[in-house]
């Protein structure tokens, strides 16, 4: 005879509601280069640092990114979004299609940014988007209405 135990959750359990992303942590091969990308190209501000870790914290006033220096850049294994579990990409929003197009134009000039695709419509939605690989190889989508 098999003993089974059933666990039930009371219907009176208080539900928890999250309030959006507090921060996103990214491990990068060159923390200074990646921080400079966010500061110089996307107008983020450095809001903190832990030099001994090392970590740099940058924010656009809405979202904070924590950038962590990989321990040994010579042993990095690049993420393969089609075969690995992990961060597929993250998306930041800009205020207008004009800003999206200007950002695309500016990023096209950088040697350490790879444009995956230029601004285009996002299906039948009212959004426009572009995708790129930022310094360190992380995929960034930028979206505008």
27: pLDDT strictly greater than 80: yes
Q: Say how far apart CA 20 and CA 32 lie, in whole Å.
A: 27
103 and 56 co-located in one domain: no
| Angle (deg, nearest 10), helices 97-108 and 31-42 | 140
Q: What's the pLDDT at 9? A: 53
Q: How many domains does the chain have?
A: 2
pLDDT at res. 32 = 95
Report field, pTM of the whole predicted structure over 0.85: no
Average confidence (pLDDT) over 109-133:
95
Chain centre to alpha carbon of residue 127: 18
pLDDT of 36 over the 60 cut: yes
pLDDT at 83: 82
> Is the link from the previous residue into 109 a cis peptide, with omega within 30 of 0?
no
Last residue in a domain, options 72, 106, 129: 72
2 within some domain: no
Residues 6 or more apart whose Cβ sits within 8 Å of residue 52? none
Confidence of residue 45 (pLDDT cuts 50, 70, 90): very high
Task: Tell me, yes or no, whether 145 and 91 share the same domain.
Answer: yes
């Amino acid at each position: 005879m098999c003993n089974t135990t059933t666990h039930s959750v009371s219907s009176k359990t208080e539900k928890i509601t999250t309030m959006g992303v507090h921060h996103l942590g990214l491990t990068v091969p060159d923390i200074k280069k990646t921080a400079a990308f966010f500061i110089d190209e996307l107008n983020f501000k450095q809001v903190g640092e832990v030099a001994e870790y090392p970590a740099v914290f940058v924010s656009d006033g809405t979202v904070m990114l924590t950038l962590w220096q990989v321990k040994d850049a010579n042993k990095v294994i690049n993420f393969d979004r089609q075969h690995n579990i992990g961060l597929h990409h993250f998306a930041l929003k800009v205020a207008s299609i004009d800003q999206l197009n200007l950002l695309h134009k500016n990023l096209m000039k950088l040697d350490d940014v790879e444009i995956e695709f230029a601004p285009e419509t996002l299906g039948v939605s009212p959004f426009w988007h572009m995708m790129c690989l930022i310094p360190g190889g992380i995929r960034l989508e930028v979206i505008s209405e």
